[in-house]
């Protein structure tokens, strides 16, 4: 279940049976702020899980997801969590054992675009959960805003018509009607596997929150509400007329409920078990420890494994009519590379990373816009028969009993799709999850999921995830909209070892960092700046031994220079490295400048940086070189850290500060790029 604030305590107490004394206790400010080195969150936002017994003796596990204040942001996350649980219960064919339920406010339901995105995903092969039951708690107001100011449609539920969902409008003062409609909604969902909406018409008795005065803005409406009987009184009248519950019995029930509340309030003590729970990583992710470690992880694969994968990647079934061009540029080229022991490019390395995980029993899910082929025509993870477009996915044919490779072209959404994959990654953590942005720029369409969940949910709610974000990034003259994944924004979000931000420069580094993600005892999100031009760059290649006898290096040393003569040490991250090396070679500066690559910017391995720079102790200048403008990229993040390691002055070589990420013309780009590379050697 996912829901916002209103009615949440009611749902926690009466649907999930969260003990009342625990709820009251949290309101006394006793929620453990020291949980997992994090900061906790307000009590309204916390998740809860319980097992309820039905009247017929069955057990139902009920989960309410933790959610941020951002209304409706939790919707796709809940869908992903539901899909994960369907996968765990092996219910992917019928999706009847796990039912996602979303409870919405009326203003947010029609107002927030992520609702439409989530509806759009509801029937897609990569994202369906077999139908969601939506309840709208329609109190006919959003904070102080009336429907007339908040929507252009008659009903707030019009958005659900996009998937032809049945919409039931029901009177909230008639609980029996609400119950009956809910049963019908469940039956519909189970019968047709599609979304359904129950729109419960009601009103808000008080202000938006405890201290709010609704009469400031709706004096007439709230005057009437004040004199209107409570829902319980309306209901009592209704059942009194039915004669099923005598008036005295109803009064006794009411008194009993009030007593229960009062008792719990006076006790206000946190049961020891509950207190312990608040400190743990819970649920299916409970096995993971929260702390990051720089300790090397063995991620190399054997030659046999490499051969198995390469062989599968370069052959298709006999009756499969592969497109001649694909045969030539993909299969035959890969065959050549494999036989020669290299040079392996980025896409081959990625396939080796996926393939080796699959052979080890780790399933892999990749989702993103056009990810099956790859935005840059680099991946071709799915091949198509020339005559009937039948699909063949080589990575699912490595050997019998291998883990599954699930690769999906996502709908054209960043927000909901990333939310979905993030939710999935939390509740089925033994799978590797990769969400790919078409270009890194577009990740900011999912900024809410990044800020509210990926960067902070471990700290707020103790919920870890190992989701990988693949964000094509790099200055190649394509203009302001296709250059920057906004590396600076991710780095600004880094603290408490909350996630890893990497900008690898070689296919093997990419291979190992992906494998590392699933080879540790803990789970951390991984933000990856991924290549565009480096996909085919002659120097950005790896050899066989880089896969069979190496690992991921957080910092890469300069192996070309002789320490004694070095006058300047240039630090950089990512693609600009290749421009620097080219310039150094062309200008015979190899002895004068050392270039150290920081492949992982966070958590930053400071000791290693210091160690690698030590031989150059006599160098006169320390430089940070980046291709991003000065107010972007890693500069403002790395400067204080470099100053700490190398007291003195750190020179900047990069584009000047700019409002837009990149120049609009190729000529301006080239001039800027040449200047910044030169600057690194001359500043």
Ligand X SMILES: Cc1ncc(C[n+]2csc(CCOP(=O)(O)OP(=O)(O)O)c2C)c(N)n1
Which residues in this chain contact ligand X in the complex, by CB under 6 A?
A: 6, 69-71, 105-108, 137, 139, 141-143
- Asked whether the beta carbons of 195 and 134 are under 8 A apart, the reply is yes
CB contact set of 44 (below 8 Å; sequence gap of 6+): 5, 8, 9
- Residue the block writes with tokens 């069979």: 548
- Which C-beta is closer to ligand X: that of 138 or that of 402? 138
- Which C-beta is closer to ligand X: that of 135 or that of 281? 135
CB of 159 to ligand X, least distance (A): 13
- Which C-beta is closer to ligand X: that of 105 or that of 131? 105
- Which C-beta is closer to ligand X: that of 106 or that of 546? 106
Residue 21 burial (CB count, 10 A): 18
Q: Which long-range contacts (CB under 8 A, 24 or more apart) does 121-124 make?
A: 121/76, 121/79, 121/411, 121/413, 121/416, 121/417, 121/420, 122/79, 122/163, 122/194, 122/195, 123/163, 123/194, 124/408, 124/411
CB of 507 to ligand X, least distance (A): 40
CB of 203 to ligand X, least distance (A): 10
CB of 77 to ligand X, least distance (A): 14
CB of 70 to ligand X, least distance (A): 4
CB of 116 to ligand X, least distance (A): 14
- Which C-beta is closer to ligand X: that of 214 or that of 661? 214
- Which C-beta is closer to ligand X: that of 106 or that of 579? 106
- Which C-beta is closer to ligand X: that of 9 or that of 393? 9
CB of 113 to ligand X, least distance (A): 10
CB contact set of 133 (below 8 Å; sequence gap of 6+): 99, 100, 101, 102, 182, 185, 186, 189, 195, 196, 198
Q: 588 has which bridge partners? A: none
Question: Two tokens at 496?
Answer: 């408490």
- Which C-beta is closer to ligand X: that of 2 or that of 574? 2
CB of 518 to ligand X, least distance (A): 34
- Which C-beta is closer to ligand X: that of 338 or that of 422? 422
- Which C-beta is closer to ligand X: that of 135 or that of 552? 135
CB of 76 to ligand X, least distance (A): 14
Secondary structure element (H or E) that encloses residue 303, with its range: helix 303-313
In the chain the first and final C-alpha atoms are separated, in Å, by 57
Specify the DSSP class assigned to residue 145.
Answer: B
Which of 213, 204, 236, 191 shows the shortest CA–CA distance to 140? Answer: 204
Q: Cα–Cα distance between 102 and 134 in angstroms, integer?
A: 5
- Which C-beta is closer to ligand X: that of 204 or that of 463? 204
Q: Cα–Cα distance between 488 and 504 in angstroms, integer?
A: 16
- Which C-beta is closer to ligand X: that of 66 or that of 596? 66
Q: Is 60 helix (H, G, I), strand (E, B) or coil?
A: strand
Which of 433, 472, 474, 482 shows the shortest CA–CA distance to 454? Answer: 433
CB of 67 to ligand X, least distance (A): 10
**DSSP string of 576-639, one letter each residue:** HHHHHHHHHHHTT-TTTEEEEEESEEES--HHHHHHHHGGGTT-SEEEEEEEEETTSTTHHHHH
Q: Cα–Cα distance between 456 and 204 in angstroms, integer?
A: 32
Secondary structure element (H or E) that encloses residue 676, with its range: helix 666-682
Q: Cα–Cα distance between 338 and 544 in angstroms, integer?
A: 8
- Which C-beta is closer to ligand X: that of 134 or that of 584? 134
- Which C-beta is closer to ligand X: that of 71 or that of 366? 71
**Angle, alpha carbons 603-607-608 (nearest 5°):** 85
CB of 82 to ligand X, least distance (A): 22
CB of 16 to ligand X, least distance (A): 19
CB of 212 to ligand X, least distance (A): 11
Side-by-side strand order, sheet with 364-368: 405-409, 364-368, 432-436, 468-472, 526-530, 500-502, 600-602
Q: Cα–Cα distance between 296 and 512 in angstroms, integer?
A: 11
Buried b (16+ CB within 10 A) or exposed e, 55-90: eeeeeeeebbbbbbebbbbbbbbbbbbbbbbbbeee
State the number of CA atoms in the 13 A half-sphere of 592 facing the CB: 12
Side-by-side strand order, sheet with 568-572: 555-556, 593-598, 568-572, 621-629, 650-655
- Which C-beta is closer to ligand X: that of 145 or that of 533? 145
Q: Cα–Cα distance between 190 and 100 in angstroms, integer?
A: 12
CB of 254 to ligand X, least distance (A): 25
CB of 585 to ligand X, least distance (A): 52
- Asked whether the beta carbons of 239 and 231 are under 8 A apart, the reply is no
- Which C-beta is closer to ligand X: that of 210 or that of 586? 210
CB of 21 to ligand X, least distance (A): 26
């Amino acid at each position: 279940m996912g829901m916002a604030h209103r009615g949440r305590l009611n749902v926690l107490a009466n649907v999930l049976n969260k003990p009342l004394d625990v709820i009251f206790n949290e309101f006394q400010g006793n929620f453990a702020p020291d949980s997992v080195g994090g900061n906790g969150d307000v009590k309204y936002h916390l998740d809860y899980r319980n097992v309820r017994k039905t009247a017929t003796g069955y057990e139902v596990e009920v989960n309410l997801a933790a959610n941020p204040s951002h209304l409706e942001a939790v919707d796709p996350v809940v869908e992903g969590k539901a899909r994960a649980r369907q996968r765990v219960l092996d219910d992917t064919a019928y999706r009847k054992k796990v039912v996602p339920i979303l409870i919405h406010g009326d203003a947010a339901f029609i107002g927030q675009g992520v609702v439409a995105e989530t509806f759009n995903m509801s029937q897609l092969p990569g994202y369906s959960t077999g139908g969601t039951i939506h309840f709208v708690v329609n109190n006919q107001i959003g904070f102080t805003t009336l429907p007339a100011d908040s929507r252009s449609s008659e009903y707030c539920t019009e958005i659900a018509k996009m998937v032809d969902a049945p919409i039931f409008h029901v009177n909230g003062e008639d609980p029996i009607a609400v119950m009956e409609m809910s049963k019908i909604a469940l039956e519909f969902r189970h019968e047709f596997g599609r979304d359904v909406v129950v729109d419960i018409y009601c009103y808000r008795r008080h202000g938006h929150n405890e201290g709010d005065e609704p009469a400031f803005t709706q004096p007439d409406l709230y005057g009437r509400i004040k004199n209107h009987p409570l829902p319980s009184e309306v209901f009592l009248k209704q059942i009194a007329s039915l004669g099923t519950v005598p008036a005295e019995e109803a009064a006794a029930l009411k008194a009993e409920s009030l007593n229960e509340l009062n008792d719990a309030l006076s006790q206000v003590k946190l049961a020891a078990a509950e207190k312990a729970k608040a400190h743990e990583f819970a649920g299916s992710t409970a096995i993971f420890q929260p702390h990051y470690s720089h300790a090397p992880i063995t991620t190399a694969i054997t030659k046999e494994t490499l051969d198995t994968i390469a062989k599968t990647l370069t052959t298709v079934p006999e009756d499969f009519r592969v497109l001649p061009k694909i045969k030539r540029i993909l299969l035959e080229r890969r065959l050549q590379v494999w036989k020669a022991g290299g040079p392996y490019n980025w896409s081959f390395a990625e396939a080796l990373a996926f393939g080796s995980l699959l052979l080890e029993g780790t399933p892999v899910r990749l989702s993103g816009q056009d990810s099956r082929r790859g935005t840059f025509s680099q991946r071709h993870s799915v091949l198509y028969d020339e005559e009937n477009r039948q699909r063949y996915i080589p990575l699912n044919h490595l050997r019998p009993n291998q883990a599954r490779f699930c690769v999906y072209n996502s709908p054209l959404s960043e927000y909901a799709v990333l939310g979905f994959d993030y939710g999935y990654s939390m509740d089925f953590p033994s799978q590797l999850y990769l969400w790919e942005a078409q270009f890194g720029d577009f990740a900011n369409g999912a900024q809410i999921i990044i800020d509210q969940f990926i960067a902070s949910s471990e700290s707020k709610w103790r919920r870890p995830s190992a989701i990988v974000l693949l964000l094509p990034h790099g200055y190649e003259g394509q203009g302001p909209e296709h250059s920057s994944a906004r590396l600076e924004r991710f780095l600004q979000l880094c603290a408490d070892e909350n996630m890893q931000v990497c900008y690898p420069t070689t296919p093997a580094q990419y291979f190992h960092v992906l494998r590392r993600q699933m080879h540790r005892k803990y789970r951390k999100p991984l933000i990856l700046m991924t290549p565009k031009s480096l996909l085919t760059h002659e120097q950005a290649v790896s050899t066989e031994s880089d896969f069979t006898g190496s690992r991921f290096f957080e910092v890469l040393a300069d192996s070309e220079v002789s320490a004694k003569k070095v006058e300047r040490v240039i630090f950089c991250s990512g693609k600009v490295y290749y421009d620097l090396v080219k310039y150094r070679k062309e200008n015979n500066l190899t002895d004068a400048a050392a270039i150290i690559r920081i492949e992982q910017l966070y958590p930053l391995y400071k000791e290693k940086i210091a160690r690698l720079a030590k031989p150059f102790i006599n160098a006169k200048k320390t430089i940070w070189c980046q291709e991003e403008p000065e107010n972007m990229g890693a500069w403002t993040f790395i400067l204080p850290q470099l100053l700490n390691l190398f007291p003195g002055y750190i020179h900047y070589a990069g584009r000047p500060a700019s409002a837009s990420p990149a120049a609009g013309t190729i000529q301006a780009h080239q001039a800027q790029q040449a200047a910044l590379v030169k600057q690194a050697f001359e500043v």
